[in-house]
């Protein structure tokens, strides 16, 4: 006769661990579970529903959740990471010094698609797994991209004659989660959709959506009345969209950027827009030179005051819950499906 030892399976109202004993044949130490500490560090907090969901998923697994919201000083983040096993972040910067301060950290999940805010090399060096939550906010971004096309084709809703999307060609630069949804929505609006993504080798992916793949970036821009950008910011793509590509676009073309600011060569963009008075640029990630661009380009340029592609209640909740689930699956089952620093 022995005892099975469950620790700590729940807490009493005073926050103390309640240790439950029950009789069994042998002492089963595999039942012993150390509570994981999960930090949710968000300068821009999640919606309440997302926070409640994260807490629920973690509580079910017996994990403790620590919240650090709306912090303004990096020192607060450095202090908060000290004893946590896992972290959920949004656009928060997880730099080498944050990772160095997080002595117990095993996993960081970026609730979102892009993960250029996490120092992947420093994480790998410390054996910390980094994941994103791909696809969870894609619909929000895709809807915004389509909305931006309409906004620009109707002169930013100021009086005057605009034009329609139907019958125009939209080029999708990168056919990933967001690009695909933009492609499908654009088809439904009666647009001709072409796309370029050298890493999508299965033509059926394009064909099933009624989308025509093209063979090069040059070909894509030269044929696109609207160009919707969905490339990640990598060493290869940073500053890759500039003067030459913009100058090759058809008359009255609009570049829509809901990807990343860093992929634009701003000097090249401004030069092209100064030279060609028909070109338009719309984005949810304001360029460095935003004020001067508003003054110089008027209705041909628009940037949202804050990044807002993924700012919907649905995307917020989807990404937050996916991050919590991925952490539990990582600790409980060793699942690393969405690891980005392999």
Ligand X SMILES: NC(=O)c1ccc[n+]([C@@H]2O[C@H](COP(=O)([O-])OP(=O)(O)OC[C@H]3O[C@@H](n4cnc5c(N)ncnc54)[C@H](O)[C@@H]3O)[C@@H](O)[C@H]2O)c1
- The footprint of ligand X (CB under 6 A) covers 112-114, 134, 137-138, 141, 174-179, 197-200, 230-233, 236-237, 258-260, 284, 307, 309-310
Query: Between helices 313-333 and 48-60, what is the axis angle to 10°?
Result: 20
Is the Cβ of residue 231 or residue 323 nearer to ligand X in the bound state?
231
Give the nearest distance from C-beta 246 to ligand X in angstroms.
17
Give the nearest distance from C-beta 256 to ligand X in angstroms.
11
Beta-strand runs (E) in 214-335? 226-229, 254-257, 280-283, 301-303
Per DSSP, helices labelled H in 154-285 are 177-188, 203-207, 217-223, 243-247, 266-275
Give the nearest distance from C-beta 230 to ligand X in angstroms.
4
Is the Cβ of residue 42 or residue 138 nearer to ligand X in the bound state?
138
**Within 10 Å of residue 236's Cβ, how many Cβ atoms?**
9
Is the Cβ of residue 62 or residue 242 nearer to ligand X in the bound state?
242
Is the Cβ of residue 8 or residue 114 nearer to ligand X in the bound state?
114
Is the Cβ of residue 112 or residue 183 nearer to ligand X in the bound state?
112
Give the nearest distance from C-beta 290 to ligand X in angstroms.
16
Is the Cβ of residue 46 or residue 63 nearer to ligand X in the bound state?
46
Give the nearest distance from C-beta 28 to ligand X in angstroms.
43
Which neighbouring-strand residues pair with 5? 21
Report the greatest alpha carbon distance in the chain: 87
Is the Cβ of residue 171 or residue 268 nearer to ligand X in the bound state?
171
Alpha-carbon torsion angle 329, 332, 333, 339, nearest 10: 40
Give the nearest distance from C-beta 281 to ligand X in angstroms.
15
Rounded to the nearest angstrom, the gap between the alpha carbon of residue 71 and the centroid of all alpha carbons in its chain is 20
Single out the residue of 171, 151, 172 nearest to residue 163, CA to CA. 151
Backbone angles phi, psi at 223, to 5 degrees: -110, 0
Give the nearest distance from C-beta 35 to ligand X in angstroms.
32
Q: Please state, in angstroms and rounded to a whole number, the distance separating the CA atoms of residues 35 and 104.
A: 13
Check: CB of residue 172 under 8 Å from CB of residue 211.
yes
**Within 10 Å of residue 247's Cβ, how many Cβ atoms?**
15
Residue nearest to ligand X (CB): 176
């Amino acid at each position: 006769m022995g005892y099975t030892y469950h620790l700590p399976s729940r807490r009493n109202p005073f926050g103390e661990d309640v240790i439950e004993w029950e009789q069994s044949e042998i002492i089963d130490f595999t039942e012993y579970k150390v509570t994981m500490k999960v930090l949710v560090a968000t300068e821009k907090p999640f919606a309440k529903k997302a926070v409640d969901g994260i807490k629920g998923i973690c509580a079910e697994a017996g994990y403790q959740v620590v919240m650090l919201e709306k912090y303004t000083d990096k020192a607060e983040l450095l202090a908060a990471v000290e004893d946590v096993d896992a972290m959920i972040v949004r656009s928060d910067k997880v730099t080498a010094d944050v990772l160095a301060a997080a002595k117990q950290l095993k996993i960081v999940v970026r609730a979102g698609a892009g993960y250029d805010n996490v120092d992947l090399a420093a994480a790998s060096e410390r054996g910390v797994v980094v994941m994103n939550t791909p696809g969870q906010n894609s619909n929000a971004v895709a809807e915004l991209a389509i909305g931006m096309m309409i906004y620009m084709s109707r002169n930013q809703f100021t009086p005057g004659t605009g034009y329609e999307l139907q019958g125009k060609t939209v080029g999708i630069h990168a056919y990933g989660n967001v690009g695909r949804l933009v492609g499908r929505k654009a088809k439904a609006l009666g647009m001709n959709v072409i796309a370029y993504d050298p890493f999508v080798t299965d033509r059926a992916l394009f064909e099933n959506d009624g989308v025509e793949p093209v063979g090069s970036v040059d070909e894509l821009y030269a044929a696109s009345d609207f160009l919707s950008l969905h490339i990640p910011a990598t060493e290869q793509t940073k500053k890759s969209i500039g003067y030459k590509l913009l100058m090759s676009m058809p008359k009255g073309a609009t570049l829509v950027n809901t990807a990343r600011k860093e992929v634009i060569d701003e000097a090249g963009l401004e030069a092209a827009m100064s030279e060609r008075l028909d070109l338009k640029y719309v984005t949810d990630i304001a360029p460095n030179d935003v004020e001067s661009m508003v003054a110089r380009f008027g209705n041909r340029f628009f940037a949202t005051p804050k990044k807002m592609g993924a700012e919907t209640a649905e995307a917020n909740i989807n990404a937050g819950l996916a991050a919590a689930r991925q952490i539990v699956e990582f600790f409980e089952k060793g699942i690393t499906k969405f690891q980005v620093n392999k």
